[in-house]
Structure 1
Amino acid sequence: MKNITRGIDHIGVTVPDIEEATVFFKKAFGAKIAYDNKKLEDEPLAGPNVEKTLGLKKGTKVIHMRLLSFNNSASIELFNYVDADQRKPSIASDLGVQHFGFYVDDIKEAAKAFVEAGGELLNDPGELLGDVEDGTGHFVYGRAPWGMLIELISYTPHGLNYPEDSEAKRFTP
């Protein structure tokens, strides 16, 4: 089968306040604003077409959208909705996307920046576990100020213990 996928372009994240989320991502991960798809001062995106296109509940309005860029990585598209019945952020055992990981060069410095930006670590950074990753690096999970789960991870790409029958190598920025 022909490979028609190049990689992940962006990840969509709903936040309560795009300006505050932008400050967090800038301080914690060096994000840069690429552009606003929809500015806060613009008329909200709403109505049956928007609801159908984005799979929204009736009456939900998009009031702000922004794309953030990161060095050597996929972008994050931030969304802010109003008139929506929103749930709390998922935890690791929930179905669907429950976290994403930032590859970092220095786990201790990255963890410090994460906390200084307003995030909360769930524990101290620890060694990677499991047959493939055991002893090759470090990781830690934390929550962004609005509660979303984010992983910080650092490993030696050539040090991973890939099985002989592995079809691919892990992408590393």
Structure 2
Amino acid sequence: MTAPIVRGVNHIGITVPDVEAAKSFLVEAFDAQVIYQSFGPHDPPRQGPEFERAVNAFPGTVVRAQAMVKIGTGPDIELFEMHGPEQAQPIRASDFGITHFALYTDDIDASVERFEKAGGTPLTAPRSIPYETEKGPGNKVCYCRMPWGTTVEFITTPARMDYRDQTDLRRWQDED
């Protein structure tokens, strides 16, 4: 058997208006750790046609800072402070593309409370998961918005999920 070509999700990239403010929010909201900062406001910015082509940025976009952050286990979060002549608002769940990322928590109420105290906005209170394959006693989700608009989902699944009866594959939190 050959090794898989892709071993897993390495990181998620998020564009923010201010890397320092984003790092502070993630540390306060999630007890995140800053692994490193590749460059900051005192370094030469990344810009120009080659950069724009490489990352599909709008012409004239300037990257002023980049940092890699860790939240618990799983993929890291790469923060980019980008400024440009045309920047759209974060997408909604009904738009095409990546609409959110989810963080697993053992205490969803405490996690949402901490997130809100740090400056985030819950879109609802934590609620039961409605899907037959995922619901169970205590299985809950809560979608929230970060100060710059990125949507994050908190999820907790203390009860066994019925999808396990349909496949031998397991979600990350269910791996034995």
TM-score by length of 2: 0.91
Same amino acid, percent of matched pairs = 34
Where in structure 2 are the equivalents of 1:22-171 lying within 5 Å?
22-136=23-137, 137-156=139-158, 159-162=160-163, 164-166=165-167, 168-171=169-172
2:58–2:84 Cα contact (<8 Å) kept: no
Counterparts of 1:38 and 1:168 in 2: how far apart (Å)? 40
Unpaired stretches in structure 1, ≥5 consecutive residues: none
2:15–2:82 Cα contact (<8 Å) kept: yes
TM-score by length of 1: 0.93
1:129–1:135 Cα contact (<8 Å) kept: no
1:123–1:140 Cα contact (<8 Å) kept: yes
Please state whether the residue corresponding to 1:112 is helix, strand or coil: helix
CA RMSD of aligned residues (A): 1.7
Please state whether the residue corresponding to 1:89 is helix, strand or coil: coil
> Runs ≥4 in structure 1, deviation > 6 angstroms?
none
Deviations 1:24-66 (A, max 9, x none): 1111111111111221110111112211111112221111110
Counterparts of 2:64 and 2:108 in 1: how far apart (Å)? 35
Please state whether the residue corresponding to 1:94 is helix, strand or coil: coil
Counterparts of 1:8 and 1:84 in 2: how far apart (Å)? 31
Unpaired stretches in structure 2, ≥5 consecutive residues: none
Please state whether the residue corresponding to 1:87 is helix, strand or coil: coil
Alpha-carbon deviation of 1:77?
A: 0.2
Q: Across the two proteins, how many residue pairs are aligned to each other?
A: 172
